[in-house]
Structure 1
């Protein structure tokens, strides 16, 4: 019997033990809503009312602001997740791939962004290709950064990763350095390998102007490359015959990422996917390399 994978990055993802979060948020929606009102008054006084709790989880909580909702308050319990999301807004500020950001508060680990209620039907091939283009925009963003952002992120250049030891969680340092070399060949030595978006069908929305946007960007990192996202796209499409096959997804990604300044070949991209899988103990590429 075939067992479905635990997730798109099964094997590469590291499961955290219970109790790892020192100060979890309340999962009681009424309490979470009362707390949100207090935080809004202190840290986001210009946000619209009323407040309605959408989700109350121990790591994050989300609240619709206004009736009808115009903005969204997002609260993080984990500092790393909050910093990851604020980083995403900083490094992708000119790319228009996230909801508009209105305000942030480091002390409360909260953000107020546009509320995007319109989902996207990814069974429409044009919409799925638009998602691929949006992902490619994220992956190539470092080539379009203004000098201040480029300087602030310079410690994440792939040329530095090539000359540094691989992180402890990497299973095969040789394969990881091979991957970094392939990244440098395709994007240049000063490329910052942004990737690891939390890609799910429900996280793909549309702005009021019709442009596609990605919500929940707290997982974005400047050191994991964009390959987890390409693998996740293949995973999303895999079990649904109404979605494009993984090979089509890889070829569409190749076209879009190269139009945005990269110089991948299909052979190099397949080699990079294989190196990523070996380096991280990824259980499956979900057909992305086929």
Structure 2
């Protein structure tokens, strides 16, 4: 698990310092754009031009394609992040909570997706509930997967995780297994515990059909449960002037997940949040357990 030393998940994990990537990406926008044009010609030949650099960072780079922009090229320096993002698009294709995936290339660790420029305003109850509903759809997506996806993702089922040792980064294995058991009680032992979204106000956008979607899905993992995202939602609800009660966030989240097939009681959801804290060393639940 990766996190920051500050922010909603502080204490749950440690960050990797700069310098760990063997082949970092170019951080000069002009150089990054030139490299993007070259890899588009070789790996995404149907992508439109022109190419404009949005961000050029050590680990990732993003470029708009077309005039006006209609697509986004995302490039990864980290192979695990690239595969994580492609996996997210594949696992959630039927949920309509991400931009549409147009193409991906393992060799260049790049993918082309729909460019969503319209922000989804979430600084009020109705808008924030849309965000919660999108997160709930992601957490419960395994219940709606076709058989072929179920078979592919079988190694990540909760039943397998509960029978295995806790991951090395877990500080309290007993609490971790309590969390997995409570998640299995709510979702079923064959559930794949999707979670760890990069939830930020700027990452909530509007799809062309008007639905709220999330961008930057490379952090999604099939082994963390949805609890980190509920903690982050509680944090976001109290920041940037929203001041929505974390108890309301938890209740709305529980309603949406249960409407989509889960069976969380409020008491068990609070117990699971506390178990997540005990297991990971999370510093604060930001009121999500109140």
Fold match (TM-score > 0.5): yes
Query: After superposition, where does 1:1-290 map in structure 2 within 5 Å?
Result: 6-290=6-290
User: 1:64, 1:73 within 8 Å by CA — same for their partners in 2?
Assistant: yes
Moved over 3 A (4+): none
- Unaligned runs of at least 5 residues, structure 1: none
Q: Cα distance, 1:116 vs. partner? A: 0.3
Q: Cα distance, 1:124 vs. partner? A: 2.3
- For the residues of structure 2 that align with 1:152 and 1:207, how far apart are their CA atoms? 28
- For the residues of structure 2 that align with 1:113 and 1:17, how far apart are their CA atoms? 29
- For the residues of structure 1 that align with 2:61 and 2:279, how far apart are their CA atoms? 34
Q: Cα distance, 1:74 vs. partner? A: 0.3
- Number of aligned positions between the proteins: 286
Q: Cα distance, 1:142 vs. partner? A: 0.6
Task: Note the alpha carbon deviations across 1:149-192, whole angstroms, 9 max, x for none.
Answer: 00000011111111110011100000000001101100011000
User: 2:123, 2:241 within 8 Å by CA — same for their partners in 1?
Assistant: no
Q: Cα distance, 1:243 vs. partner? A: 4.0
- For the residues of structure 2 that align with 1:138 and 1:83, how far apart are their CA atoms? 18
- Unaligned runs of at least 5 residues, structure 2: none
User: 1:125, 1:243 within 8 Å by CA — same for their partners in 2?
Assistant: no
Task: Note the alpha carbon deviations across 1:88-132, whole angstroms, 9 max, x for none.
Answer: 011111111110110000000000000000011111211110110
**CA RMSD across the alignment:** 0.9
- For the residues of structure 1 that align with 2:26 and 2:241, how far apart are their CA atoms? 39
TM-score by length of 2: 0.97
Task: Note the alpha carbon deviations across 1:197-254, whole angstroms, 9 max, x for none.
Answer: 1111111000111011110000000000001101001111223443421111000000
Task: Note the alpha carbon deviations across 1:246-276, whole angstroms, 9 max, x for none.
Answer: 1110000000000000000000000000000
Q: Cα distance, 1:85 vs. partner? A: 0.2
- For the residues of structure 2 that align with 1:89 and 1:66, how far apart are their CA atoms? 22
Q: Cα distance, 1:18 vs. partner? A: 2.9
